[in-house]
Structure 1
Amino acid sequence: MALRRRRFADRRAAQGYSQEEFAEALTVAVSTVIRWEGGRATPQPHQRPKIASLLGVTLCELEGLLVEEQPAETAVPLDTPPLYHGDDDDMKRRDVLGLLAITGALVTLPASDEAPRGHTAAALLETGEELHRNLWQLFTLSDSKQTVLPAVRKQLGVLTKGLAEARTEADRARLCTMTADLYQLAGELFFDANRYTDAAQCYTLAANAAHAGGDDDLWACAMTRHAYIELYARRAPAAQPLLAAASQIARRGDNALSTRHWVAAVQAEAYAAMGEIDACTRALDEAEKVQWLDGHSHNGGWLRFDGSRLLEERGACYLQLGRPDLADDALTSALAQPLSLRRRAAVLSDLAVLGVHLRDIDKVVHHAETAITLAGRSNSGFIGKKLDGLRGRLAPLMSDDRVSDLDYRIAALSRTA
């Protein structure tokens, strides 16, 4: 049962704030305020001065309001140590990683006719792939990606049991590809939460499982996602061999799918990070060839590349290469397209960085303010990291009060996923 912070909620209401108004004043998502008051999360240290100011209390008094009030019937003995902030999320994380270790072992074992009889494997073989497609769709449509984690964790447990029941090599291969699919989604959830090492572990298992299942496209996608972690950590040289391997694997895959074009798009980002504009342009041109494929070139799950992101990816590459003239057209055109909240925030962050290049404060403020609002709605670590990148470039413009306010608001963003 979640612990409650009734006094915290009462104080907020007494100050005349609804949960929505309080969230807006703090530039966080309403769900974040709900989690604070429900005892499922705790405000970060950098957020507390402003919270105390809004509530009209001192920081010491705020600490008292944040004491979690447990119902009497479930009260724990006084000598029981309290849970610290993040313990619940950390236990969930360890739970998923524990399943990863078990599943990884099962993937390497051959099918056995002595496996225990059960209905889990049969049910997975009948409905598992459709369920995974639905989970990817839910992930794509959700503003806050972490809402998908409980369903993914549950399905990982089911897959672990199903793998243990596999009796034929054909069944084992199909279950391995389902494992690769689901662990790529788990990796995306960890990546969105800025847990890159955990994401890399998921992608490594996904690659091994895809190889065991004999699916080269799925294997190449897992390798490409792993490489993207290195790119995001600004380690392009470490990403290059992963992408080279992914490209080679993708060429063995289905030519009707967009896998090799997606690998090329990510390779373009690596070349841009290394300042190689000609190689970057060639890779982008290769990625553009995805438009020659028919409408069934992706599956909407682990393979979602259909070319619709190329404008924003091209703009980000040119921005990285120090070519704001080329980046502006691509990013502005990208913003005119229908975009998910996460993608729109990323493009807006890049346009704000472009404004810094051009010393155009109005452009910086306009785009950054919108991106900050979207970050508060999604609570995405990915968007937060993009805005942190913008924040690191604001120093030349900090004499303007609007820019210094942006700096404060980005610093105050919740990173709790």
Structure 2
Amino acid sequence: MSGKRGLFAGRRRELGYSQEKLAADLGVATSTVTRWECGRADPHPQQRVKLAALLKVTAPELDALLNPSAKAPVRQAASALIDESDDMKRREALGLIAATGALITLPCGEGTASAPSPAAFRDSATPVNAHLWQIFSASRTKQDIYPLVRHHLGVLAAELRSVTTESDRQRLCGIVGDLYQLAGEILFDASRYTDAAHCYTLAAAAAREASHYDLWACALTRHAFIELTERRFDSAEQILTAAARIGRRGDDQLSTRHWVAAVQAQALAGLGRLEACDRALAEAEQVRELTGTVQNGGWLRFDGSRLAEERGTCYLTLGRPDLAEKSLHSALEVSLSPRRRGAVLAELAALSAHSGDIDQVVHFSKASMALADETGSGYIAKKLDGLRPRLVPLMKDDRISELHHHISELQHAA
């Protein structure tokens, strides 16, 4: 932390911020910003996310502004932080998963009976998790927050080593189960399915240790999404059956069991079971009958607002475009994240391909590809990749041939 941070201060001035204005927007004292720029202090992890957003930089770029002597360039791709070609980073992440998995199953106090209680950390960890989920939901490029999530996972693992009571251990396991689901979501969006599965598996184990049934059911449901993406519908249905049983033991005022049903409908659609799919969708629709707070905006975000999209996806998978069209168009009429919107547009392109409407295929596909490029979302890329077989009968048209080629390039990049 030695020396003045000219790049950091320059970026602030470039965007028209005075020290006072930046401090006010961050909710800190002006002297705090002064200490950051003089190199006498560093922003806390909770402050870095908002600071990066205000300065319009990614997390790695903010690190470079704060540490100009670092070898990494200022414009470093965020996705490189979780690039599968970087074996060292991947082994480090998997090592943390393995270590955390061992710690959550150890009896409390084993070898650490004299260690201090982590109560002070627990009081601040849950708001941090909630804040990270909010940033993840709002971010157009999901990989940007991976460094912060990775940092907090390391802190949690260290705290687990010093736990001394069973109540402390259960509370920490709940926090671990929450945060590893977020890590899995980031990796899933980057098409890192194996690593995402590791995170979801650990999240489920931690939630089980915490006796937190809703958290446990949600971790299993996210794991099932991987199976759905890979079109392993039998495997997904088995996982979701377990998730449904666990969810029924949770809080009946939360939407957990309804979300499980919505995802089950997709697995049943993949298995060609229309009547069972409709029953699952009907159960998911019952979320609208719940009152009060039905979801927390983090590991549980289902409130029924996406049911039109999910219903359309199911009917398209079942080969019922007559039923899918209305639902998919309805889905675009509500507020969707860029990732979800890109997925719906890809589904509409597939629907248009089924009817042979080349103009609409090109229109929806290009809109979906633009969102995939903008967000770097492997989820949208995977949806578009599923469109390619439907394009084959239309390949005589040069626009479709070119589109097929571009989707192939996009999937390879993802």
Name the residue aligned to 2:181: 184
Q: Give the 5 Å matches for 1:32-47.
A: 40=76
Write the letter of the residue equivalent to 1:112.
G
Name the residue aligned to 2:377: 380
Following TM superposition, by how much is the alpha carbon of 1:335 offset from its aligned partner in structure 2, in angstroms?
Answer: 0.7
Name the residue aligned to 2:68: none
Write the letter of the residue equivalent to 2:146.
L
2:294 corresponds to 1:297: yes
Q: Deviations over 1:298-351 (max 9, x none)?
A: 011101111111000000000000110110000000011111100000000000
Alpha-carbon distance change, 409 to 173 in structure 1, aligned in 2, over 3 angstroms: same
Name the residue aligned to 1:107: 104
Q: Give the 5 Å matches for 1:305-324.
A: 305-324=302-321
Name the residue aligned to 2:19: none
Following TM superposition, by how much is the alpha carbon of 1:399 offset from its aligned partner in structure 2, in angstroms?
Answer: 1.0
2:52 corresponds to 1:94: no
Which among 157, 168, 173 is matched to residue 154 of structure 2?
157
SS of residue in 2 equivalent to 1:412 = helix
Name the residue aligned to 1:124: 121
Write the letter of the residue equivalent to 1:203.
Y
TM score, norm. by length of structure 1: 0.78
* 8 Å CA contact retained: 1:163, 1:175: yes
2:327 corresponds to 1:330: yes
Alpha-carbon distance change, 290 to 346 in structure 1, aligned in 2, over 3 angstroms: same
Name the residue aligned to 1:9: none
Name the residue aligned to 1:47: none
- C-alpha RMSD of the superposition: 2.6
Write the letter of the residue equivalent to 1:130.
P
Q: Deviations over 1:218-238 (max 9, x none)?
A: 011111111121111111111
- Paired with 2:286 and 2:199, the residues of 1 have a C-alpha distance of 30
TM score, norm. by length of structure 2: 0.79
Which among 337, 340, 350 is matched to residue 340 of structure 1?
337
Name the residue aligned to 1:354: 351
- Paired with 1:141 and 1:100, the residues of 2 have a C-alpha distance of 26
Which among 200, 206, 209 is matched to residue 209 of structure 1?
206
Following TM superposition, by how much is the alpha carbon of 1:362 offset from its aligned partner in structure 2, in angstroms?
Answer: 1.2
Name the residue aligned to 1:148: 145
Which among 260, 278, 286 is matched to residue 257 of structure 2?
260
* 8 Å CA contact retained: 2:178, 2:203: yes
- Paired with 1:87 and 1:211, the residues of 2 have a C-alpha distance of 29
Name the residue aligned to 1:73: none
Q: Deviations over 1:277-302 (max 9, x none)?
A: 00000000000000111241101110
* 8 Å CA contact retained: 2:78, 2:144: no
SS of residue in 1 equivalent to 2:410 = coil
Q: Deviations over 1:46-100 (max 9, x none)?
A: xxxxxxxxxxxxxxxxxxxxxxxxxxxxxxxxxxxxx9x9577443332221111
- Paired with 1:119 and 1:313, the residues of 2 have a C-alpha distance of 48
Following TM superposition, by how much is the alpha carbon of 1:37 offset from its aligned partner in structure 2, in angstroms?
Answer: 8.6
Q: Deviations over 1:181-205 (max 9, x none)?
A: 0111111111111111111111111
- Paired with 2:123 and 2:78, the residues of 1 have a C-alpha distance of 42
Following TM superposition, by how much is the alpha carbon of 1:416 offset from its aligned partner in structure 2, in angstroms?
Answer: 5.3
2:396 corresponds to 1:399: yes
Identity %: 55
Following TM superposition, by how much is the alpha carbon of 1:241 offset from its aligned partner in structure 2, in angstroms?
Answer: 1.6
- Paired with 2:336 and 2:75, the residues of 1 have a C-alpha distance of 33
| 5+ residue gaps, structure 2 | 1-56, 62-71
- Paired with 1:170 and 1:90, the residues of 2 have a C-alpha distance of 37
Q: Deviations over 1:243-283 (max 9, x none)?
A: 11111110110000000001100110011000000000000
| 5+ residue gaps, structure 1 | 1-29, 44-82
Write the letter of the residue equivalent to 2:392.
A
Alpha-carbon distance change, 367 to 306 in structure 1, aligned in 2, over 3 angstroms: same
Higher relative contact order (CA 8 A, sep 6+): 1
Following TM superposition, by how much is the alpha carbon of 1:240 offset from its aligned partner in structure 2, in angstroms?
Answer: 1.6
Following TM superposition, by how much is the alpha carbon of 1:40 offset from its aligned partner in structure 2, in angstroms?
Answer: 4.6
Alignment coverage as a number of residue pairs = 346
- Paired with 2:304 and 2:172, the residues of 1 have a C-alpha distance of 29
Following TM superposition, by how much is the alpha carbon of 1:121 offset from its aligned partner in structure 2, in angstroms?
Answer: 2.2
Name the residue aligned to 2:170: 173
Following TM superposition, by how much is the alpha carbon of 1:409 offset from its aligned partner in structure 2, in angstroms?
Answer: 1.9
Write the letter of the residue equivalent to 2:234.
P
- Paired with 1:135 and 1:250, the residues of 2 have a C-alpha distance of 24
Which among 194, 199, 222 is matched to residue 196 of structure 2?
199
Q: Deviations over 1:1-46 (max 9, x none)?
A: xxxxxxxxxxxxxxxxxxxxxxxxxxxxx99xx9x99785699xxx
- Paired with 1:311 and 1:226, the residues of 2 have a C-alpha distance of 22
Write the letter of the residue equivalent to 1:367.
F
Following TM superposition, by how much is the alpha carbon of 1:135 offset from its aligned partner in structure 2, in angstroms?
Answer: 0.7
- Paired with 1:42 and 1:170, the residues of 2 have a C-alpha distance of 37
* 8 Å CA contact retained: 1:173, 1:213: yes
